[in-house]
Structure 1
Amino acid sequence: MTIDFLSLQTAPRLLIEADLQPLQGARFQPTGFPDLGAAVYDGPNGNRLLLVESAQSLANRLEVVCWDAPNDDWVVPLKGLPLVKVIDKQGASLTNTVLEAHRLNSPYILEGKDKSVFDMLKKELADMSEGPVDIRKLASVVLKYDTNALLHGIFLAKSELAGGRLRLPRVVSAFIEAEDVKLAQSGGVKNDHVNPSGDTAKGFGNVPYSRDDYTAPKITAYFNIDLAQIRGFGLGQAVEQLLVTLALYKIRRFLDEGLRLRTACDLEARKLTVTRPDAWVLPERTQLEQALPGLISAVAAENRFAEPRVTVVKWEKGAEKKPKAGADSNEE
């Protein structure tokens, strides 16, 4: 069975829903936020909803499943995709644009002594220093050096790069939400068997605590692939098919292997449904794995990727900028 790209050519979005449940028991621990805790809110029908995992967190989790950490490389079906790797002074790997929160805009890539990537971006995007940003040109450059960032989105927030206006929104967005939630309160004690009455401020003593988990009859992961934005990049059919397949692979692999969100939030997918376009059949993971190497090769044959595919940056902390003499200076 081949992937049905034809039915997606005029669809604005590809929407997918995954019905989830706790792997064991009924309770699960949601994501929490500073000064807020769990995000519980009223739905349009008055039912209580809970944000189990945010869009920001899921964007990063969809990246992690693409990376083979022990071998410091793409997982096998994605080998050959471009990225930027950061090494230390001894040549050991530090990080890369798959794992960095800001992708190409990572300070380990743009703020160190090695300015090779910064200078490359400045040169290739120089014609956008004034006037409107050419989204197609920007997408072409991102495709060349960090293809995956086209799906994740990127913001090159440097004034020297088109005044800090270079931005591509996310193509793949996702979140997990639970409906009709009920609070499941519990607690525990951190025991100190040496000195139970010790100074707890210093980490000694017994410390009782409470915790709030939740139960819900329905937990759903929502995935949105912006097909219109992919076509809007103007990068051609081969790139479009690669990006769609890569997005679907990330979703499939996350649902298979990435649903242990926290110690007390281990989920599994029960059912996967495409809600738009109607009747479109979601390929199996094995189909996507078989298709990806050929799609990567097809885009490479169009000379769309940097050669070599891995751009290496050496991280050494750059010199601190000294304040200019004047009203804000301590100089006499």
Structure 2
Amino acid sequence: MPESEKKSPPKKLTPADVLKGESPLVLTATLEPIVGDRFQPAGFPEIGHVIYKAPRKDGSTENVCIVDSAASMANHLETVCQRGAHDLDLVEDLSGMPHIRCVTSTTEGKEPTKDREVVVTSITEGHRIASDYFLDGVVLSGDAKATKKNKDGKDEPLTLRQNLVDRFGIVLPDGNKAHPPASQWWNVFKTIFEVDPNSLVHGVLFPKWQIKIPRALTAHLEAFGASRVDRSGVKFDRLDKTTSGQPIFAVDDATAESIRATFVIDASLIRSFGRKKGETTLGLSEKQQEFLVALALWKVQKLLESPFRFRSGCHLRRTAIKSYEQDVELDVDIKTAITAAGFGEQRITDVFWPREELYREGQAGSATGGDEDDGAEETEG
């Protein structure tokens, strides 16, 4: 092979390099279906998937299909943290990473019991730490409810909402309104990092406290040169127990010249979570910032290292990964990054709901306070 045609080795990207490098870091992965050439993009009932005409510099247009939005890609990037679709424990690589669990007793009663079940975690909840499942639950200390002195000097259960307000230090003087003055943002970043660093990677919103932290890792999945493939399906009622008969329904797939996943890591945002002021560290230390970058890179690496099933008809494998046209290799030692981050001994925060309260019928109009589109996952078409 001529010297000019020899392929240069991929550039290794370490969390330290990314944190100190140019921002943002843009990674582009080329994907292909594991079988055949059709795939199923995200879509909505009676609408299907979106194909739009994107203008190009030469005056032409190209059909581009939105395979997955930023919100759906965030969901996919968080699923790689779990041991399985129905197993809420973290994978071995992330052992020791702080997160929050909503737990309830296996029997009815207002007090927690030793036999408890995990209902959701801050990894599975779309609004992460800002979900009301966590904020309105009572923090557990061992097997008992944590308490806080009220204004009358009596002990009352400590909710995660009150715990965060206290640790953030955001209650304004001479009032009960919570809002972070500039000097307290360092406490906000540090507290979230200590209890759920994943929320700093994917973004979080506490609307009542006017705390909004945007995504440090944003991703989307698109297909270029896309065409719609219309097909049909049929539902059989073999026992004749419904009035639907044998309905035929429409299904739309797609084909494309190329499928690309784009990942954007905002290193500048992560650097803004902490700095040195003389000998004092405000917010996150450099090693803690480095951990956030490591977690973002690890998520991308895990999503791409083997074929990933984005939905039932969209099973894709990576063929290449580049950064600004240069082949790259992600070099991440996530276990070392967790150790270097200096997390405390209490890595998991359990918040408790009595079983009868957690599973009672929901009320219309109730809301959780998270990123407005996070957790909203498109259907399979």
Q: Find the residue that maps to 2:73 and give its secondary structure.
A: helix
For residue 223 of structure 2, the aligned residue among 156, 164, 178 is 178
For residue 167 of structure 1, the aligned residue among 204, 209, 212 is 212
Whole-angstrom distance in 2 between the partners of 1:213 and 1:280: 30
For residue 87 of structure 1, the aligned residue among 78, 82, 103 is 103
**Offset of residue 147 of structure 1:** 1.1
Structure 1 residue 212 and structure 2 residue 252: aligned?
Answer: yes
Which residue number in structure 2 is paired with residue 191 of structure 1? 236
Matches within 5 A, 1:61-140: 61-69=76-84, 72-90=88-106, 91-112=116-137, 115-127=158-170, 129-130=178-179, 132-133=181-182, 134-140=184-190
Normalised TM-score (structure 1): 0.82
For residue 256 of structure 1, the aligned residue among 298, 305, 308 is 305
**Offset of residue 237 of structure 1:** 1.6
Matches within 5 A, 1:1-332: 3=14, 5-6=16-17, 8-33=19-44, 36-45=47-56, 46-69=61-84, 72-90=88-106, 91-112=116-137, 115-127=158-170, 129-130=178-179, 132-133=181-182, 134-157=184-207, 159=208, 164-195=209-240, 199-200=243-244, 205-234=245-274, 235-257=284-306, 259-275=308-324, 281-283=328-330, 287-288=331-332, 291-300=333-342, 305-316=343-354, 317=357
| Residues 275-329 of structure 1 deviation map (CA, whole Å, 9 limit, x = unaligned) | 2xx868432xxx52xx2222211221xxxx34311111112338999xxxxxxxx
Cα pair 2:101 2:349 within 8 Å, conserved:
yes
**Offset of residue 257 of structure 1:** 4.5
Considering fraction of residues, name the structure with more strand: 2
Instruction: Read off the aligned partner of 1:313 and give its amino acid letter.
Output: V
After superposition, the Cα gap between the structure-2 partners of 1:130 and 1:52, relative to the gap in structure 1 and judged at 3 Å, is closer
Which residue number in structure 2 is paired with residue 324 of structure 1? none
Q: Find the residue that maps to 1:31 and give its secondary structure.
A: coil
**Offset of residue 54 of structure 1:** 0.8
Considering fraction of residues, name the structure with more helix: 1
Whole-angstrom distance in 2 between the partners of 1:191 and 1:131: 58
Q: How many residues align?
A: 300
Whole-angstrom distance in 2 between the partners of 1:25 and 1:306: 49
Whole-angstrom distance in 1 between the partners of 2:180 and 2:160: 23
After superposition, the Cα gap between the structure-2 partners of 1:165 and 1:34, relative to the gap in structure 1 and judged at 3 Å, is farther
Whole-angstrom distance in 2 between the partners of 1:183 and 1:176: 16
Q: Find the residue that maps to 2:55 and give its secondary structure.
A: coil
**Offset of residue 16 of structure 1:** 0.3
Q: Find the residue that maps to 1:61 and give its secondary structure.
A: helix
Which residue number in structure 1 is paired with residue 148 of structure 2? none
After superposition, the Cα gap between the structure-2 partners of 1:71 and 1:7, relative to the gap in structure 1 and judged at 3 Å, is closer
Whole-angstrom distance in 2 between the partners of 1:265 and 1:145: 34
Whole-angstrom distance in 2 between the partners of 1:28 and 1:84: 35
Whole-angstrom distance in 2 between the partners of 1:130 and 1:266: 45
Cα pair 1:109 1:315 within 8 Å, conserved:
no
Q: Find the residue that maps to 1:47 and give its secondary structure.
A: strand
Instruction: Read off the aligned partner of 2:167 and give its amino acid letter.
Output: E
Cα pair 2:219 2:264 within 8 Å, conserved:
yes
Cα pair 1:14 1:226 within 8 Å, conserved:
yes
Q: Find the residue that maps to 1:221 and give its secondary structure.
A: strand
After superposition, the Cα gap between the structure-2 partners of 1:106 and 1:219, relative to the gap in structure 1 and judged at 3 Å, is same
Cα pair 2:40 2:313 within 8 Å, conserved:
yes
Whole-angstrom distance in 2 between the partners of 1:194 and 1:148: 47
Cα pair 1:33 1:39 within 8 Å, conserved:
no
After superposition, the Cα gap between the structure-2 partners of 1:87 and 1:2, relative to the gap in structure 1 and judged at 3 Å, is same
After superposition, the Cα gap between the structure-2 partners of 1:247 and 1:131, relative to the gap in structure 1 and judged at 3 Å, is closer
Cα pair 2:81 2:91 within 8 Å, conserved:
yes
**Offset of residue 132 of structure 1:** 4.1
Q: Find the residue that maps to 1:127 and give its secondary structure.
A: coil
**Offset of residue 105 of structure 1:** 1.2
After superposition, the Cα gap between the structure-2 partners of 1:216 and 1:58, relative to the gap in structure 1 and judged at 3 Å, is same
| Residues 164-196 of structure 1 deviation map (CA, whole Å, 9 limit, x = unaligned) | 301110100000001111111111221234549
Whole-angstrom distance in 1 between the partners of 2:220 and 2:329: 19
Runs of 5+ in structure 1 lacking a partner? Answer: 322-332
Instruction: Read off the aligned partner of 1:314 and give its amino acid letter.
Output: F
